[in-house]
Structures are given as structure tokens and as C-alpha cells.
Structure 1
Amino acid sequence: MSAFSLADLEAIIADRAAAPASESYTAASLAKGPVHCARKFGEEAIEAIIAATEGHHQGLVAESADVLYHLLVVWRARGIGLDEVMAELARRTAQSGHAEKASRPKAS
């Protein structure tokens, strides 16, 4: 297993976000706003879905990396940190998946 973590990626994104947009793809994406970042995340998610449904192993690996990167950029654009998401995952996994889902508020 790789020693590289999502926390490492989050730190890299934070560093690159502070760079001039002309020098950093991350900074340029963030400068375009959260909607742009979310759309890019969606594009990458669709590409991952296509790779998964076509059974393209290396393509899915590559697109998954893109999905994770762009998801963390969306979080940054919206002021959400990895710790917040991990805390939510910890809360949810403290019980079975069926029980957790049943405990969620119903959508109106």
C-alpha cells in the first residue's frame, strides 16, 4: 500500500491553491469558483464510471485518481476539510449500513 494519503493530497492542494493561477492548475480551478470545480469533478466521475463499466482496469485507476483530486478541490472551494468528511464516515460506520441509512432524515 502506498504511503501517500488523502491528507497528503489535501496539503498539496492547499499549497497549490496559494500559488498564482498562472502557475497552478489548482489555483486556476479554484479561481473559477465552486461551480466550475464541481462540474470538473462531475466530468471526472463520469469518466470513472465509463472506465468501470468497460472493465478498463488502468483507466479506472487513473480516473479514480482524478476523481479524488477534483473532489478535494471541490471541498476546498466550499470550505470542507478531509477531517470533517472522515468524522462523518466514522459516525456512519459505527453502525450497520442499513441502520445508518434508515436513521437519515427523509427527503421532503
Structure 2
Amino acid sequence: MGERTANVHDGDIGETLEGLAAVIHGRAGADPEASYTARLLQGPEDSLLKKLTEEATEVVMASKDHDHDHIRYEAADLLYHLLVTLEREGVTLAELAGELDARHR
């Protein structure tokens, strides 16, 4: 488990995800030695997928503990790694939003 984040305040999830997705996209061509994101995007596919699985499992374990702050922390890690996976596979947030919208209409 990572260290708890201090002073967390509510934010705008759409704005936050779009900003994070833009940062991830911008790091696609960065030096993998200098950028963890670039390492995930350019490295072996299995490394990223294992990390995505690990983060999902950590969300599950935090949820079993009913630990609100830990759930939030691990969910943020999961969303980051999911966004990296989407970038690697060429799936945009707009496409993801379209998929979700189509499911509830």
C-alpha cells in the first residue's frame, strides 16, 4: 500500500481525467528511463497488464477492509493505470464516454 494522500479535496472528475489523459498522451514518446508513464507505454505489454491487475486487486482488498481513504488511494492508482492502458491501445476518453453513454440510454 502506498502512503496516504494528505489534504484531498473534491474535484471535477471529467476535468481531472482529461488532464491526466493529456499528460499520459504527452509522455508517449518520452525517455522511458526518465518517465514511469513512458516505461509503461513503451515497455512489455505484460508489465502494464500485470500492474493493472495488481491495482484492481488492491482496490478489492481495500474495499474488503471498508477503508475509505485506502479505497480512494488505490482507485486513483487503478484509474491511472487504466488510462495508460487505454492510451497504449488507442482508446480515447471520448470513445469510452460514448460506450458508457450507449449503455444507459
Q: Does structure 1 residue 36 correspond to structure 2 residue 47?
A: yes
Q: CA RMSD in A?
A: 1.2
Distance 2:89 2:44 in 1: 9
TM-score by length of 1: 0.80
Moved more, 33-42 or 77-86: 33-42
- Structure 2 unmatched runs, 5+: 1-9
| Match runs of 1:57-72 below 5 Å | 57-72=68-83
- Structure 1 unmatched runs, 5+: 95-108
Other structure's SS at 1:68 match? helix
TM-superposed deviation, 1:33: 3.3
Moved more, 27-36 or 40-49: 27-36
Q: Does structure 1 residue 21 correspond to structure 2 residue 29?
A: no
Runs of 4+ aligned structure 1 residues displaced above 4 Å come to none
| Match runs of 1:35-54 below 5 Å | 35-54=46-65
* Matching residue of 2:7: none
* Matching residue of 1:97: none
TM-score by length of 2: 0.82
Q: Which amino acid aligns with 1:13?
A: I
Other structure's SS at 2:27 match? helix
* Matching residue of 2:21: 10
Other structure's SS at 1:17 match? coil
Q: Report percent identity of matched pairs.
A: 36
Q: Does structure 1 residue 92 correspond to structure 2 residue 93?
A: no
TM-superposed deviation, 1:39: 1.5
Q: Relative contact order: is structure 1 or structure 2 higher (C-alpha 8 Å, sep ≥ 6)?
A: 2
